[in-house]
């Protein structure tokens, strides 16, 4: 089921809502003192302390139209500064994450910056 949010190109699906609920429940269990901002929940993004920012279905329009390019995106901000980002592509079984000062990984393999522009 697909609904529009603010315009006909701004979609939300039942999958968006279910995914967001699952992610929020998991984060609340692990980090009960952290704030959580979900794209679909419409809360105000807090500007201080640790805040998880969730896009439960990044690429909703693609998903809704059967185009297989979408992911789950989650970030951790501390005092409005990004410290951790995770992207999960379920169709390609790819996971990407980066942590401030620690580097970036794809499926457990550290990613390197290329010397070519």
pLDDT tens digits, 47-79: 889 999 999 989 888 888 889 999 999 999 999
Compute the chain's Rg from CA coordinates. Answer: 15
**pLDDT > 90 in the chain, percent:** 60
Query: What CATH code is carried by the domain that includes residue 36?
Result: 3.30.540.10
Q: How many residues does the chain have?
A: 117
Sign of torsion, CA 72 77 81 82?
negative
Whole-model pTM?
Answer: 0.81
Write out the residue range of the structural domain in which residue 11 sits: 2-110
Tokens 């429940």 identify what position? 25
Number of domains in the chain: 1
Going 95 to 98 to 99 to 105, the CA torsion angle's sign is: positive
Would 116 be classed as within a structural domain? no
Angle (CA) 88 28 63, round 5° = 30
Separation between Cα atoms, residue 90 and residue 34, nearest integer Å:
26
d(CA 45, CA 43): 6
Average pLDDT of each block of 10 consecutive residues along the chain (117 residues)?
Answer: 46 79 95 90 79 92 88 96 97 97 96 83
């Amino acid at each position: 089921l697909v609904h529009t949010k603010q315009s006909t190109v701004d979609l939300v699906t039942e999958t968006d809502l279910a995914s967001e609920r699952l992610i929020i429940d998991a984060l609340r269990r692990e980090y009960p003192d952290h704030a959580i901002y979900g794209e679909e929940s419409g809360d105000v993004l807090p500007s201080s302390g640790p805040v998880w920012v969730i896009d439960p279905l990044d690429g909703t329009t693609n998903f809704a139209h059967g185009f297989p390019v979408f992911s789950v995106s989650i970030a951790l901000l501390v005092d409005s500064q990004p410290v951790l980002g995770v992207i999960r592509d379920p169709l390609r079984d790819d996971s990407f994450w980066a942590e401030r000062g620690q580097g970036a990984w794809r499926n457990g393999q550290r990613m390197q910056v290329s010397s070519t522009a």
